[in-house]
Structure 1
């Protein structure tokens, strides 16, 4: 029996897989844990610690550019719209999207995928270019080789500082926080962008897709040596996602979870790749068609 070390987040759609309700025929899965989940991404891209690992989309783009031997599997683990992810203090100075030009905005890392989507929205919907803003980061990128643009500044205070702390101290005018993180900062936050839900729906209607944040990668060596085991795990994960469909609502976050290279998933990756290039998250174009071809065999 093949054995795979696997790191996936704890979600309703992974629970049947992890508890054995959905089996993985011929494969023994060693389930790893990481808290916070994103801490595993750096270990994966720096030392290939797992055979299969959930990974943020922007981290994957950077790892691929750096030559890290991993392949993207067509599974969208989490995602959603991010018009509400650019936040400010409710009692702070009034702030408009145009007012962000020349301002300082906090973000955990410049290559964080939520930040990627927020910057894409700012440029596309409000005409604020990534280079118009000074981005203040509290953590290093997962891919050690990456060097951020000149308008990115690493916070030079305590490494333990939260992005929202920079808001409280007035060091930044706004902060980028994922939907799951907004409620964990110990302070009430409100969106900077006006009528964020309607603006987010307009983005979805325009693009015909939902932003993806996390997908899944596999080590190339494992894909080469044990392709049947990887395919079995993929099919089981797809079955686990299908079995929990009634636990997801029709919101963008519920809609995005899926397995298989649908046109909608490929388009989300393609848009994210375009944003990554224009923001210098990567310096070379991402060949999304090749990425799709590399993982297409799983759906045969």
Structure 2
């Protein structure tokens, strides 16, 4: 009989075949948890070990690993994208570009979001922004309870995009909006993304998949089968993220460096340290 695994996995191009059952296995079966959006399930995974298999924001995983949470990374990317289009400012207050953010009020859902970490890394390393000079305004706690968040919390009931529209914030990260007053912080998003890719040669990874340490230690064959199924499901979708081993390594090394720079983790790790002996062999 197939081993049933508690699973958190969002609806992505690369997970469709797995979730609709067209990619299946005799060894493992999936009991899919329902969270909308999927990232609401990251907190119970990190804090309670709620799932055997879980989609996971890469920065949340890095932070969880730094606090010894019993999870192991699989080399399976389910969400990756360029980040430049997820930053806005209010044009009513005058033109604002990325180099103008020093000393400004910048909103972000949580200081520890992966999109936020990527964007802050881009701002600091490509535009010379002093991240410590910014008045960060946040709306949610970190998924990892042990992380000490020193940012300023928005007043109860406030909404991030509305605060930008109302002039209570100068810019926001991690958001999109079609409001006519709100414009991209990076004026030519497509050109910025192309230049960034030319410099780094990678697409930023947002979400990968983790398994519980117990599952990896006690049922390595099941973990290998989960990876096979994820890879097979991704292979049938042209829209699924595609990473060579080297591309994944470079993307992971970059976000590890950004996360350490921003003190989300105490020190940089090697990409190899994110895997264990079972999952490292699957790369």
Does TM, scored on the shorter chain, surpass 0.5?
Answer: yes
Q: Is the 8 A contact 1:86 1:193 kept in 2?
A: yes
SS in 2 for 1:238: helix
1:195-210 correspondence runs (5 A): 195-210=188-203
1:131-146 correspondence runs (5 A): 131-146=132-147
Between the aligned partners of 1:188 and 1:12, the Cα distance in structure 2 is: 32
1:130-279 correspondence runs (5 A): 130-148=131-149, 150=150, 152-158=151-157, 161-178=158-175, 182-183=176-177, 189-245=182-238, 248=239, 257-258=241-242, 262-279=245-262
Between the aligned partners of 2:4 and 2:275, the Cα distance in structure 1 is: 26
How far apart are 1:263 and its partner, in Å? 0.5
Moved more, 65-74 or 16-25: 16-25
List, as ranges, runs of 4+ consecutive aligned residues in structure 1 with deviation greater than 6 Å.
185-188
Q: Deviations over 1:46-93 (max 9, x none)?
A: 000000000001100110001101001111111211112111234342
SS in 2 for 1:275: helix
Q: Is the 8 A contact 2:84 2:189 kept in 1?
A: yes
Q: Is the 8 A contact 2:72 2:275 kept in 1?
A: no
Q: Deviations over 1:153-172 (max 9, x none)?
A: 111322xx332122022221
Is 1:298 paired with 2:282?
Answer: yes
Between the aligned partners of 2:66 and 2:131, the Cα distance in structure 1 is: 21
Aligned Cα RMSD in Å? 1.8
Q: Deviations over 1:207-231 (max 9, x none)?
A: 1111000011110001111111121
TM-score between the two structures when normalised by the length of structure 1: 0.88
TM-score between the two structures when normalised by the length of structure 2: 0.93
Q: Is the 8 A contact 2:197 2:203 kept in 1?
A: yes
Is 1:65 paired with 2:66?
Answer: yes
Between the aligned partners of 2:173 and 2:263, the Cα distance in structure 1 is: 18
Is 1:101 paired with 2:94?
Answer: no
Between the aligned partners of 2:207 and 2:125, the Cα distance in structure 1 is: 22
Aligned pair count reads: 281
How far apart are 1:292 and its partner, in Å? 4.8
How far apart are 1:25 and its partner, in Å? 2.8
Q: Is the 8 A contact 1:75 1:258 kept in 2?
A: no
Of 257, 268, 283, which aligns to 1:285?
A: 268
- Please name the residue that 1:84 is paired with: 85
